[in-house]
Copies of this chain bind each other. A is one copy, B any other.
Amino acid sequence: MEISSTEENYLKAIYALQSSGDKPGVSTSSLSEHLNNKAASVTDMLKRLSDKKLIHYKKYKAVSLTKQGEKLAIAIVRKHRLWEVFLMEKLNFKWDEVHDMAEQLEHIKSDELIERLDAFLGQPKYDPHGDPIPNAKGVLPKPKTSALSNIQNKGHYIFVGVNEHHVDFLRHLTSIGLKIGDQIKIEEHNSYDGSYLIRINKKPGQYISHKVASNLLIEMKS
């Protein structure tokens, strides 16, 4: 069965929203927003995806991926992240530059290609944003711990990934001098607005809003 790039993008979006949200299923409107499409267009596509047995769809109800749909979605995520590794490690792109290219490359159709690329890159487990890369069978390595915003305790941590990939956010991190692998010391947590005062690699204190903190993935300093 032929799957178009557009359909792949819908599957990917459903998968992403499903994993990020708490409740099961994804609404038409959230897809509409995520894909910058009108809700009516989304409904159209949901019907097509349902016909192809890639999603579970009942009128007016939230949708979810079938086994087959999830398999495809994970394959796309795998491709996206492997290409990002390629772009950064081999072609020296910066982390805020790779997303658009990877969005295109993820739709290249060839299983053999992606397996060889994986081998060429040394079978990486995480992409340059710290996101886990599913293996060829679709199994994800466990994510690199939790968001900074889940932690109130002062202490030392390592910045290992991000939850948000918008260019503006990544640029902001660059501007405050934060990059993957940096040490983060939590010096203060303001519980009324969720903001933090942290030190990055022992440098002078840096203020971090709750919003930013919720998108920073950290792990305990081991």
Binding site for B on A (CB under 8 A): 87, 90-93, 97, 100-101, 104-105, 108-110, 112-113, 116-117, 120
Bound-state CA distance A112–B98 (Å) is: 11
B101 & A116 in contact (Cβ 8 Å cutoff)? no
| A120 partner, pick from B91, B101, B108, beta carbons under 8 A | B91
Other CB < 8 Å A-B pairs besides A92-B116, A105-B108, 16 of them? A87-B113, A90-B120, A91-B113, A91-B116, A91-B117, A91-B120, A93-B112, A93-B116, A97-B112, A100-B110, A101-B108, A101-B110, A101-B113, A104-B109, A104-B110, A105-B105
Bound-state CA distance A92–B112 (Å) is: 11
User: Which B residue sits closest to A117, measured CB to CB?
Assistant: B91
Main secondary structure of the interface of A (DSSP, over half): helix
CB-CB < 8 A to A113: which residues of B?
87, 91, 101
CB-CB < 8 A to A116: which residues of B?
91-93
- Taking the closest CB of chain B, its distance from the CB of A9, in whole angstroms, is 16
- Taking the closest CB of chain B, its distance from the CB of A181, in whole angstroms, is 23
- Tell me the number of copies of this protein: 2
A-B contact pairs, 13 of them (CB 8 A): A90-B120, A91-B113, A91-B116, A91-B117, A91-B120, A93-B112, A97-B112, A100-B110, A101-B113, A104-B108, A104-B109, A104-B110, A105-B108
CB-CB < 8 A to A109: which residues of B?
104
CB-CB < 8 A to A108: which residues of B?
101, 104-105
Bound-state CA distance A65–B113 (Å) is: 33
- Taking the closest CB of chain B, its distance from the CB of A100, in whole angstroms, is 7
CB-CB < 8 A to A110: which residues of B?
100-101, 104
Bound-state CA distance A161–B109 (Å) is: 27
CB-CB < 8 A to A97: which residues of B?
112
Shortest Cβ-Cβ A-B pairs, 6 listed: A91-B116, A104-B108, A101-B110, A101-B113, A91-B120, A90-B120
